[in-house]
Structure 1
Amino acid sequence: MVRDPWRVVSGPGFLPAAHVIGKGSALAATRPRAHHSSRPAVGTGSSVVSGLRKDDGMSPTKKFREHARRHGVSDDAVTRILWSVQPSVKMDVKRPGNVRPEDRVVGYVGGLPDMPVHSTWKPGDHFVACLDLAAIPKQPLDDLIPRQGRLLLFAGPDYRDAFPDNGHAPVIFVPPGTETLVPSAPVDFSYYTMREESQELLERRVLTLLEPAAWDILGWPESDPLLEAAIEEYGSLVPDAPVVNREAGSSLDLRGAQLNHHDWLAIYEEEFQEKREQAVAVVRDAPEEFDELYARALREAAEASEENTEPYVCFAEVAEANVFGSGDGEVSWMIPHDDLLAQRFDRLEHSYFC
C-alpha cells in the first residue's frame, strides 16, 4: 500500500532522523502597520511529520493540490487557500514544572541565551527564544529552514512600531559544534530611571511542540466570501491532515515557507487579491503554473511598495502576550525570499500585527 504523503502520523517509526545537536542545545538546557485580526487556521490532528520527498519532481503545493483533489476539493478552492495560507510548525511555552514526559521539547524562551563566543548582544534588544532545529519536525510544505544547530531570536526595542528606527530583527544561526558561552545581559542607559541598567530578561520557559499543529489563513476570510467558501469546502471534504481548525493558537510559530507573505498583502492590497483570482482561472487548466504565478505576484507587490524592493516572507512569529507577558499583537521576523532559499539569516526585519 502506498502511504498518502499528506497523511500525518504519530509514533517513533515516523519521526525524522536525528541530527547532531550543537553545544548548548536547547534539549540539553532543559509591521509595517498594525491591524486587528482573528485568524482561522488549517490544522492537523497529529504530529507534523512529512512524508514528502524532495527528489520526486513534484512541488509541495502540487502535492497539496493532489491530496485535496482526491477528496473532491475543487482546484479553485485549493488555489485560494494556497494564496493565503501560512504553513508553520507551532510551539507553546510552559514553565519547567509543567512539562510532561510526553511533551516534545524544541527549545526555550527568555532568560540568558547560549551564544557563539564572537557574537554580540546589542543593548536594548530582547532575547526571545532559542530553537533546537534538530528537534523540530519538518512540515508538509517545506519551510526551507535547516534542521541542524540552533536559532536564536532577538527582538529590537521598538518592535511594536509601525516604522521602527531600526527595523532589523536580529537572528543568530548556531551551527552544530560552535563554541558558545552564556553572556551577561547587556547594560544600557535607561531614560526611565536615568541610570545604566541591565537588560530586562523575559521569563525563562520551555518550548514544546504544539499538537494538533495548524496552518493559519491570512486576513479575514469572513470578509472574503470566496476564501471563506474555499476553507469551508476543504474542511467539509478532507478528513485527514491538513484539516481546517478555526481556533488554533500558539506561542511561537516557525514559518519560513515560501507561502508566508505579509499580513497587509492579504488585507489591503487589492491588486494582490485580484491576481489570486487571475491565478484561479489559469490554474484550472494548468495547475503547474501556480508556483510561478504566486512568486511573480509577490515580486510585483514588493517592487510596488515603498518599504522593500524584494519580497519578504514570514520566518517566525510569536504571540506577544504569551512570550513578552503583555500586549495583544503578533511579533514577526520577516526574511527576504532569496535569503530564505540561501539559508542566510542576517537581513531579517520586524513586522507587528495587532
Structure 2
Amino acid sequence: ASFVGRDRLRIRLQARDAVTEFFDGDPGLEFGGRGGGTFTLAKLIYQFPAFNQAATIYTGIVGSGVFDVFNYSTPFEALSDFADAPNSTADVPGGALFGFRYRLSDQLRLAYSYSTRNAQALGKGFGDSGITGSDSAHAVELGFLPNENLEIYLQFASTYLQTANDGPEFLANGTALFRGPLRVTNVSTSAQVNAFSVAANWEITPRVIVSGWFTAGNVDYNLPNVVPAGTVDPGEENFNGFLFGFVFPDLFVEGAKGGVVFGQPIVTTDNDGVWDTRPFVVDVYYSFPVNEYITLTPAAYFVSNPNGGRPGDNDPTIGVGALRAVFTF
C-alpha cells in the first residue's frame, strides 16, 4: 500500500499447518517456524523518501532485515540458498529494523541498517532483548556504479549473537559453518562477529551476466554464563567464503534463463584438523516459460566434502534436485 504515492507499506500475513521439522533440513525450501494453521503477522515494513528523494528511510516491526535495505542481490534463480547474497553481511539477524539508502551521486550509493531479532520481547535483564539486545547487527554498504552494466559493492556488518538452541548454523570452536541467519548453538556461548564482503554484478552482454562475492571475518566467542565470569576464554576464529556464477537470459528460448553457481560456503580458516578439505557447492538451473502463465525450472545442487574431509568421517557428496513450477495470474 501507499499513502502519498512515493512511499510503500508491506504487510504479510502467513499461516501454515505442516510438520516443519521435515522441511527445516533442506536449505532450499524455507519452511521455517511453527504455525498450527493460525495466521500471524510475518512481515511489516514501511519505506518513504527523504531529502528531496535522494534518500529512502526504512522502518520494520517484524520480518524485516538487512536484505530489505541493501542494494546488492544476486540475479540467480538457483535452488540452494547459498546462491543468495553473503549471509555474513547481508543476511544477519533481523526482525525489527531501522535503515536508509542514500544516493551520494550518480555513481555512489550508501546504505545502513540496524536490525534486531526480538525487539518486542522483554528479557530477564537490561540489554538481553528489546531493540538494544538479543541478536542484533549494524550493517553498512557502499555501492559503486561506474556504468549501467556494472555494480560493485563493499559491505561490513558487526553482529552480536546470544545463546540460541534452534539450529546448527554456528558451532563454537571448531566449525563455523553459516547456514542462513547466524545463531550460536552452544547453550553457554555468545559471540561478536565482524565481517566484510565485496560483491559485484556485471552484465557483459544482454545474454551473459556475471555475479559473485567474497566474504571474510572474525568470530569472538565469550561465555557470559560461566561463573566466575572470565575464567574460561573460548577464543576466536576467522572464516571466509566465496561465490561466483553466470546467468544466461533468453537461453535457447526467449524468456528463458539458465544459470550456474560455484563457490565455497562460509567456513573457518582456523583448521586445527577441521575443514582440512573445504566444502564446495555447484548449483545449476534452467528456467523456461511453458506459456504466459506457467514457468518450469528444473534445478539441482551438489555439495562436495560437506564434513570438511575430517579423518574417519563419512563425507560423501550431497546432491539435491527439484522441479519448480511458477504460476502467474
Q: Normalising by the residue count of structure 1, what TM-score does the alignment of the two structures yield?
A: 0.24
Relative contact order, higher structure (CA 8 A, sep 6+): 1
More helix by share: 1
TM-score, length basis structure 2: 0.25
